[in-house]
A and B are shown apart, each in its own frame.
Chain A
Amino acid sequence: MQASLIPYILVARRLGIALITLIIVSFAVFFATDLLPGDVAEILMGQAATPEAVAGLREAMGLNQPAFLRFLGWLGGLFTGDLGTSYVNQMPVADLIGGRLANSLKLAGVTTAVSVPLALFLGITAAMWRGSAYDRMVTALTITVISVPEFMVATLAVLIFAVWLKWLPALSFGAEVGTFWALLKAYTMPVITLTFVVSAQMIRMTRAALIETIDTPYVEMARLKGAGRIRQVLRHALPNALGPIANAMALSLSYLVGGVIIVETIFNYPGVAKLMVDAVATRDLPLIQSCAMIFCVSYLTLITLADLVAILSNPRLRR
């Protein structure tokens, strides 16, 4: 009876750790942004502001309160869905982010749907025929892709597909997306670029994790039972490599929410990353904090999910 509870305890403990990490991260985000140079009130009032006016504004914005109290207020707001008000255009941060986040998640979702199956397929097949010409080709390709910076891939894609071939629109957003075909065209280039960036690492890690399990005695045993190569790999090796593969995937995919600023900029794609860079330029603290928290939350979610996969795919922990 006790033993059947173990997986739930492990999962609950893992989720608890995620929550504690989140609180620590929010602490770090808040105080790191607080250290940013420049006084918000001064920036907002402009150069002509009198000291009294600046002081009044500071008072009105609650900036004179101790930092820890402001942190608690902000954290409380976060948990109740109130992300604060933008300093710059007085709009609720939630409204500013809302549309952008949807855009980012859409791009991340499409890229995930393309890159994960692709990476799994290439990683598994390369491991299956390790040492073959095919394996060497995949390995060489992934190393090439890792070494080429993403702005290079993106710029080349624009140059080739939009400028020379004129197949695809150069800008993703603002293009006509009335039909499915148009949508596909609009997303193709950013998705290709991002897939290039995130799959390479996933392919390498999938291949490495799988090769490690292929070399174990139980896979050799399967072979000596007469199992074919596909059965050896998919039935015997893969289930035992799921943990490390899921973690490699989570690390790569976490990049899709926060790390895509270059791709968003080149394709003029209005996502969260671009919003955050703009917010830094205007010292819009609530916006910066909220964006940072979104990146951290998405990263944490992915890593937690990967750990849960690792826990649940291991019968020693499950039972």
Chain B
Amino acid sequence: MPDASQPLVTVRDLHIGAVTDSGRQVEIIKGVSFDIRPGEFVALIGESGSGKTTIALSLMGYCRPGCSIAGGTVTLDGRDVTAMSEADRAELRGTEVSYVPQSAAAAFNPSKRIMDQVVEITGIHRLMPRAEAEAKAVSLFRALALPQPETIGRRYPHQVSGGQLQRLAAAMALIGGPKLVIFDEPTTALDVTTQIEVLRAFKAVVQKGGVSGVYVSHDLAVVAQIADRIIVLKGGEIQEENTTPKILTEARHPYTRALLAAVDPVPHQPRSIAGLQPRPPILEAIDLHAGYGTFQNGEPAVKVLKNINFRLERGRNLGVIGESGSGKSTLARAVSGILPPYRGAVLLDGHELDGDLKERRKEDLRRMQIVFQLADTALNPAQTVGSILARPLKFYHGLRGAARDARVDALLDMVHLPAALKYRLPRELSGGQKQRVNLARALAAEPELILCDEITSALDTVVAAAILKLLEELQSELNLSYMFISHDLSTVEAICDDVLVMYKGEVVEELPAARMSAEAAHPYSKLLISSVPQIDPGWLDSLDQDPELLAAFSRR
């Protein structure tokens, strides 16, 4: 039994080095020190590349391939894991310290049954007989509020939902009775309504078992619900460390303040359209239906969008929110003609567009552009930024030579990138820079309407906030309208005037963005809006959601 006054984990002057693809040695963790007391929950927070996962994994004596502990000590329950042999570390893993991965969907072996994987730790370390282990697993499944706890273990990973898998991964981590559990962004890949259930389940089992936890995340609001203490990381160094309430109220470091600001964005100021001549809406959808699969009797096998109606006035922004599978990306594909709708009409500036992209006039294509979520896959990796931007200039405007080069420079300037970047390849840019290039390519067409499909979802909060600011700037300069698709309500709130709430391919409600929580009337919109984590540490505990409503709308 560890002495409660002694820290369970002591990290002192930890340095971790990595070898880059070009063989260069770099230091990614630069002298980090902190303690974790028994029963304490500590959050490591920071953007991608801050080293938070690397530090968390080093507590298990593990470094990803290419990395190695270059100096310092990590003491777990009185033993230095950095000085151990790999065999001794293997003894520790699963019994003393265990791991809940970011994506349980990827961390479960697709070819093995769930139960075999959950109880594997007890087999590897010979902790208990198989029957006892399975009984313990079932009781953990029950504690984690998993459906059919008796039989869920017989399924394969692909037969359960993402939220369930994430809780099963927690059961897998707890089966060996560890003293420390590392949660590596365990809810990042989940929808907000699912995230609540999972967070609650984690909190309940961890508090009951009296284990310590490390919670790695980039989401301050989530961390505020679960952590006793927060360590803010950037560039492999600790920026600030304090108890959760103090970080939230008395943050000293500018980076922490930027993180806090990004969680609570300034609400969008609608642009005044009074005094302008009445014109038809820039985009209108009437009774839109779309789906995938083979057609029969003029209807596809899988119907995704049903009966979608909306109007987007010129100079305004329309948000589309919903959870994964709600059909919001399909809506962007249907409006843009990538997936021709099988019924209904799309009107651009008052005239009806052909459903199919291939049949649309070049002029119509130019006026409506689309920006995709992943700049990594949307930008051709073999072309320089300059030629990526030059192509739409030639296609839509027939520009060539010096005029085209000048326009490329102007576009880069518009998205606040230096002109010298045009000689670079996409992989030589950061995530935020790539998304700016992605946006500049859409601007090259000189559109009136841009469909933004989750364009900030893959970015760190601070970077995403900068992109949103850029979008606003561009809007007032170029008189653009956006249709902004996102699963993140605070993002939508920051940029949109009106919001469509989608559920299972239908628009359940249309709300003004600034008064979403006040005006929501449909039970699903209410559930969705109330599920967005608030920065208040007591939010999760005081959150009162109707369990029947939750069961009805979140597909458990």
A240 touches B98 (CB 8 A): no
Q: Mark B52-86, 1 if CB is under 8 A from A, else 0.
A: 00000100101011000000000000000000000
Given known pairs A225-B172, A315-B156, the reply for A216 and B99 (CB within 8 Å) is no
Number of A-B contacts (CB under 8 A): 75
Q: Once bound together, how far apart are the Cα atoms of A240 and B158, in whole Å?
A: 14
A240 touches B156 (CB 8 A): no
Q: Does B95 contact A (CB under 8 A)?
A: yes
Using Cβ atoms and an 8 Å threshold, which residues of chain A touch B107? 217-218, 220-221
* Of the residues A215, A225, A239, A316, contact of B93 by C-beta under 8 Å: A225
Q: Mark B86-114, 1 if CB is under 8 A from A, else 0.
A: 01001111110011010100111111100
Using Cβ atoms and an 8 Å threshold, which residues of chain B touch A216? 106
Spot the interface stretch: B27-35, B118-126, B259-267.
Answer: B118-126
Using Cβ atoms and an 8 Å threshold, which residues of chain A touch B172? 225
* Of the residues A225, A236, A319, contact of B94 by C-beta under 8 Å: A225
A227 touches B120 (CB 8 A): yes
Q: Once bound together, how far apart are the Cα atoms of A268 and B108, in whole Å?
A: 54
Using Cβ atoms and an 8 Å threshold, which residues of chain B touch A228? 87, 90, 124
B95 touches A226 (CB 8 A): yes
Q: Mark A214-244, 1 if CB is under 8 A from B, else 0.
A: 0111111111111110010000100110000
Q: Does A314 contact B (CB under 8 A)?
A: yes
Q: Does B159 contact A (CB under 8 A)?
A: yes
B124 touches A231 (CB 8 A): yes
B106 touches A224 (CB 8 A): no
B159 touches A217 (CB 8 A): no
A227 touches B103 (CB 8 A): no
A315 touches B106 (CB 8 A): no
Q: Once bound together, how far apart are the Cα atoms of A135 and B449, in whole Å?
A: 56
B103 touches A217 (CB 8 A): yes
Q: Once bound together, how far apart are the Cα atoms of A225 and B101, in whole Å?
A: 11
Using Cβ atoms and an 8 Å threshold, which residues of chain B touch A240? 109-111
Using Cβ atoms and an 8 Å threshold, which residues of chain A touch B87? 228
* Of the residues A215, A239, A316, contact of B112 by C-beta under 8 Å: A239
Q: Does A298 contact B (CB under 8 A)?
A: no
Q: Does A313 contact B (CB under 8 A)?
A: yes
* Of the residues B62, B92, B156, B159, contact of A223 by C-beta under 8 Å: B62
Using Cβ atoms and an 8 Å threshold, which residues of chain B touch A226? 90-95, 121, 124-125
Shortest C-beta distance, A43 to chain B (Å), equals 55
Shortest C-beta distance, B289 to chain A (Å), equals 27
Chain B residue at smallest Cβ distance from A237: B109
* Of the residues B62, B64, B65, B111, contact of A315 by C-beta under 8 Å: B111
B62 touches A224 (CB 8 A): yes
Interface centre among A215, A221, A222, A227 (most CB of B within 10 A): A221
A224 touches B99 (CB 8 A): yes
Shortest C-beta distance, A226 to chain B (Å), equals 4
Shortest C-beta distance, A168 to chain B (Å), equals 44
Using Cβ atoms and an 8 Å threshold, which residues of chain A touch B124? 225-228, 231
Q: Once bound together, how far apart are the Cα atoms of A197 and B400, in whole Å?
A: 56
Chain A 273-319 interface residues, beta-carbon cutoff 8 Å to B = 313-316, 319
Given known pairs A221-B99, A225-B172, A226-B90, the reply for A319 and B159 (CB within 8 Å) is yes
Given known pairs A225-B124, A231-B124, the reply for A218 and B99 (CB within 8 Å) is no
Using Cβ atoms and an 8 Å threshold, which residues of chain A touch B158? 315-316
Using Cβ atoms and an 8 Å threshold, which residues of chain B touch A215? 65
B120 touches A222 (CB 8 A): yes
Chain B 161-193 interface residues, beta-carbon cutoff 8 Å to A = 172
* Of the residues A236, A313, A314, contact of B109 by C-beta under 8 Å: A236
Using Cβ atoms and an 8 Å threshold, which residues of chain B touch A316? 110, 156, 158
Q: Mark A192-232, 1 if CB is under 8 A from B, else 0.
A: 00000000000000000000000111111111111110010
Using Cβ atoms and an 8 Å threshold, which residues of chain A touch B125? 226
B101 touches A221 (CB 8 A): yes
Shortest C-beta distance, A209 to chain B (Å), equals 14
Q: Mark B124-163, 1 if CB is under 8 A from A, else 0.
A: 1100000000000000000000000000000010110000
Using Cβ atoms and an 8 Å threshold, which residues of chain A touch B57? 224
Chain B residue at smallest Cβ distance from A313: B111
Given known pairs A225-B94, A225-B121, the reply for A217 and B106 (CB within 8 Å) is yes
Using Cβ atoms and an 8 Å threshold, which residues of chain A touch B99? 221, 224-225
* Of the residues A217, A220, A225, contact of B120 by C-beta under 8 Å: A225
Q: Once bound together, how far apart are the Cα atoms of A178 and B33, in whole Å?
A: 77
Using Cβ atoms and an 8 Å threshold, which residues of chain A touch B120? 222, 225, 227
Shortest C-beta distance, A315 to chain B (Å), equals 5
Using Cβ atoms and an 8 Å threshold, which residues of chain B touch A222? 109, 120
Q: Once bound together, how far apart are the Cα atoms of A304 and B60, in whole Å?
A: 45
Chain A residue at smallest Cβ distance from B175: A225
CB pairs A–B below 8 angstroms (15 shown): A218-B107, A218-B109, A218-B110, A222-B120, A223-B90, A224-B98, A224-B99, A225-B120, A225-B121, A226-B91, A226-B125, A236-B112, A239-B111, A239-B112, A313-B111
What 10 additional pairs, Cβ within 8 angstroms, besides A218-B110, A226-B94, A315-B156?
A: A219-B109, A221-B107, A225-B120, A226-B92, A226-B93, A226-B124, A226-B125, A228-B124, A314-B111, A316-B110
CB-based closest 9 A-B pairs: A226-B93, A217-B106, A226-B94, A221-B107, A218-B109, A224-B99, A225-B94, A239-B111, A315-B156
Which A residues are closer than 8 A to B by beta carbons? 215-228, 231, 236, 239-240, 313-316, 319
Which B residues are closer than 8 A to A by beta carbons? 57, 60, 62, 64-65, 87, 90-95, 98-99, 101, 103, 106-112, 120-121, 124-125, 156, 158-159, 172
